[in-house]
Structure 1
């Protein structure tokens, strides 16, 4: 069974971000979620704009995540996943 891929948005603190975790099926699902989140800000998120890259060189012991950073080209950090996509 495939492990669950989780996404947490960029927030002021870890607890605040963890309260908003969302399960993501794949890269396309992440893009669709980000399109919904950023549409009210008039940001048109496209697949080619979303990058998921390794963040740090260790597992985050606070939450057990092999953290990957999610960025949107031209905007910045959108959040983090617990695994690569």
Structure 2
């Protein structure tokens, strides 16, 4: 757990996707994870550090999970 707390930032909105949603590629997840700065979590749980340590295996798992969510057209309730 991180020893610092950060204030919540407002979540921005985006326009809906018209037509089929493209598949999320492993490479895009890998690049997104690689771009995160070490030592700077997106929240108090240090999740960015976790995903950086998982490397390509974590990126592959995330891409698969996100694609399942897209296919099901439903997000898990815990999110």
Q: Same fold (TM over 0.5)?
A: no
TM-score normalized by the length of structure 1: 0.31
Higher RCO by CA contacts (8 Å cutoff, separation 6 or greater):
2
Higher percent of residues as helix: 2
Q: Which has the larger radius of gyration?
A: 2
